[in-house]
Structure formats: C-alpha cells, structure tokens
Amino acid sequence: MDYRLRLAPKAGKDLVKIKGRDKTRILLALRGLEEAPFSGKKLKGEFNGLYSIRVWPYRIIYATYKKELLILVIRISHRQKAYK
C-alpha cells in the first residue's frame, strides 16, 4: 500500500532552490519514500515523531500519517542547517 507524498510550503521552497543532479537525486528519494515511508531514521528530542533520510549533502525531514497514508515533507535542507 503506497503512501501519498505532500510537500509543506517550506519544503517546496527548499526544493525550488536546489539545482542539477542534487535535485534529481532528491526527487528519486522522495519517490522511494512513497513505497517505504519508514525507511528513514527516526528522530529524537525536539524532532520526536519525525523521520529523516540522507541525500548527500541534504536531509529530508518528514512526518508520516498512517491513517491517511500520507507523508508530509517538512524540510529539505543542507545537512548543516537541517535541524536548526
């Protein structure tokens, strides 16, 4: 059962700023999330309940909603700025 993917407004703005090969790799990773939404690293602390996947040098931070079969991408950011 595949999940639907939605980008939060901030994540959409983040994605528009990324160019070239990095953007292609991120789009492929997002497509893979629809099939395996829990494959990311479960975050702790301030980001408890969220997941993160690495697409070097970026991080994709997202939430999953099981009842709605939805993945909400919250941020797509360079790894040094992702958790700020």
* 21: DSSP letter: H
Domains of the chain: 4-78 (3.30.2310.20)
Return all residues near 4 (Cβ < 8 A) that are at least 6 apart.
34, 68, 69, 70, 71
What pLDDT score does 79 carry? Answer: 72
Whole-prediction pTM: 0.91
What pLDDT score does 84 carry? Answer: 65
What pLDDT score does 14 carry? Answer: 95
Q: Is the pLDDT of residue 75 over 80?
A: yes
pLDDT tens, 17-35?
999 999 999 999 999 999 9
| DSSP string over 23-46 | HHHHHHHHHHHHH-TT-SEEP-GG
pLDDT tens, 33-53?
999 999 999 999 999 999 999
What pLDDT score does 2 carry? Answer: 84
